[in-house]
Chain A
Amino acid sequence: MPHIIVEQLCKYYQVHHKEAGLIGSLRAFFNRQYRDVKAVDDVNFTIEAGEMVGFLGPNGAGKTTTLKVLSGLLYPTRGRAVVLGFTPYERKRAFLEQFTLVMGNKNQLLWDLPAMESFLVNRAIYDIPKAQYEATFKELNDLLDLEPLLKKQVRKLSLGERMKCELAAALLHRPKILFLDEPTLGLDVTMQVAIRNFVKAYNQRYGATVILTSHYMADVTELTRRVIVIDHGRILYDGHLQQLVEQVAPYKLLSIVMRSPCPPEILGQYGEVEKVEGVKATLRVERGRASEIASRLLTHIKLDDVLIEEPPVEDIIRQVFAESKENRESGE
């Protein structure tokens, strides 16, 4: 049975409109104008046990709202979500014990106390048997190197150190499902990699299901094969990242380093010239013919190096969003 089932899920917010300034405030006070905002609009997907899925989308696309519905913080306006066989918003204890939601921009630890205190409180709240707690703690400590952080007050930790503790505190009860909302927000590259490796290891060790949202494409490309692309509350794409790349970008990039500079007109015979800088050039070529063109280049032009690359995922995603915007605008 899938771990997560989402059917025709809609979440609309009523927001009231207020113009700036005193007059605007007064007008809003006496005559409130409400407007529906469709944060999530007819979304469907299922996620199997042990799967890692990345949610991609710009700010306000509906990623966090979806995660909040799945974790029971929000009622759906329409449609349904089923997680581990539970209806999330009922917030049954058996459900709450089996998942965790980590939000990169929220602190869930006791701010003025060392993180260890939060761990012990969570141990009591989740009623974790001592032996299991100690085993889990040891594993988390091995993966995240927590020991030096535990005696410092949370407020004195760096952002990255705090995120390690947040993750550990959220995983002490060994949840089967992890909702990670921007877990690497604001972290430096080393720390991003550490968190990423940890999530991967946790997924492998416990077979946990993971949904991840992130602005850092590397988080998604490193961790997940399947992505769900959301914009304006609707799913634009759900499937393998690789297929999305092939679908949106039917080309690959050939990066070449030549012995001596070659005029762009000649390079243009092989593919669309993206850029030429002295002896370095990048060509855009048809996906299926990339290796053939590369070998032709090698025989006709003296090359030092040639590299066949996928276009950057960022560009592809940007293209998907741009197309969706165009479609919306032409539809209106």
Chain B
Amino acid sequence: MRWLKVYPSLLRAYFNLSLEYRGQVVIWILSGILPLIMMLVWLSLTESGPVQGYTAQDFISYYLMVILMRRMCGVWIIWDLNRDIRMGNLSAQLLRPLDPVHLHLARTFARHPLQLILVGPPVAAAAFFLGARYAMPLAQLPLLLLVMLGAILIEFFVQMCIGALAFWITQAIAVMEVWFYIRALLSGWVVPIDLFPPAVTAALQYLPFRYVLSLPLEITLGRLTLPQIGYGLLVQYSWALFFFLLYRLLWARGIREYSAVGA
């Protein structure tokens, strides 16, 4: 557990790095406006009455929170990871007595404060003026944070797995695209998952997608009871564990490959 001691330094350095890239972050945030467009689409549909129980206010509340949660549960390591492996920066990392996963994990968490500062106020203002409503009891806040952490961990280890493919194939980023699109569709980013056909919604309870975005959204909207959250946490952390183990396996194999063919 001595690597824990490294985190303050890593988080500080990577937070400074995120400030260095603040312009880029703003552009990213602005480019992620698809949820707003979807919101407008749904709003025009609700003019003739609620859609499957969703009122205009429900859609506004939902999509504003999508924007915030996407920033707070997002992970953006795949490009760094891919470049490190393919360009040989990984060699330098392997020479130091610290597993490179900690670099990526620290970088992930170090990004969130800036995201919150940039996205939090506008979303809060919009929520206030548009009359969004979040019915989550305050007592569920610790659970919400735990669920957000779980969401980050799933996405993080998925990206570590896909990134590790770069040990064998040059187009790991293309695989990432597939994950991005499927996740965008099925995680609740574009469409609330309970608007899918019931069979799909039911299946999504067991697949990982709901747990990287929709679950924390559902909690903030006050839709889940404590037992439901508990069950969600169980499934969510099981997926996190699954992808963690898969990453360990792929990474160990990949390093062996890397050490065999060189970089």
Interface size on B, residues (CB 8 A): 28
B20 interfacial by beta-carbon distance below 8 Å? yes
B97 & A125 in contact (Cβ 8 Å cutoff)? yes
A101 & B95 in contact (Cβ 8 Å cutoff)? yes
Pick from B10, B13, B89, B259: contact of A74, CB below 8 A.
Answer: B259
A301 interfacial by beta-carbon distance below 8 Å? no
A126 & B9 in contact (Cβ 8 Å cutoff)? no
In the complex, which residues 42-81 of chain A have their Cβ closer than 8 Å to any Cβ of chain B? 65, 68, 71-75
A120 interfacial by beta-carbon distance below 8 Å? yes
Q: Is the interface of B mostly helix, strand, loop or mixed?
A: helix
A124 & B89 in contact (Cβ 8 Å cutoff)? no
Taking the closest CB of chain A, its distance from the CB of B44, in whole angstroms, is 43
Interface residues of B, Cβ cutoff 8 Å to A: 2, 5-6, 8-10, 12-13, 16-17, 20-21, 88-89, 91-92, 94-98, 256, 258-263
Q: Is the interface of A mostly helix, strand, loop or mixed?
A: mixed
Known A-B contacts A112-B20, A117-B16; A73 and B6 likewise in contact (beta carbons under 8 Å): no
For residue B90, which residue of chain A has the nearest CB? A73
Pick from B97, B258, B261: contact of A96, CB below 8 A.
Answer: B97
Interface residues of A, Cβ cutoff 8 Å to B: 13-14, 39, 65, 68, 71-75, 89, 91, 93, 96-97, 100-101, 103, 106, 108, 110, 112-113, 117-118, 120-127, 153
B12 partner residues in chain A, CB cutoff 8 A? 117, 120
For residue B8, which residue of chain A has the nearest CB? A124
| Bound complex: CA A106 to CA B92 (Å) | 8
Query: How many A-B pairs with Cβ below 8 Å?
Result: 77
B10 & A121 in contact (Cβ 8 Å cutoff)? yes
10 tightest A-B CB contacts, nearest first: A124-B9, A96-B97, A108-B92, A93-B97, A124-B6, A117-B13, A125-B98, A75-B259, A112-B20, A121-B13
A101 partner residues in chain B, CB cutoff 8 A? 92, 95
| Bound complex: CA A281 to CA B106 (Å) | 67
A108 partner residues in chain B, CB cutoff 8 A? 92
| Bound complex: CA A169 to CA B10 (Å) | 15
A121 partner residues in chain B, CB cutoff 8 A? 6, 9-10, 13
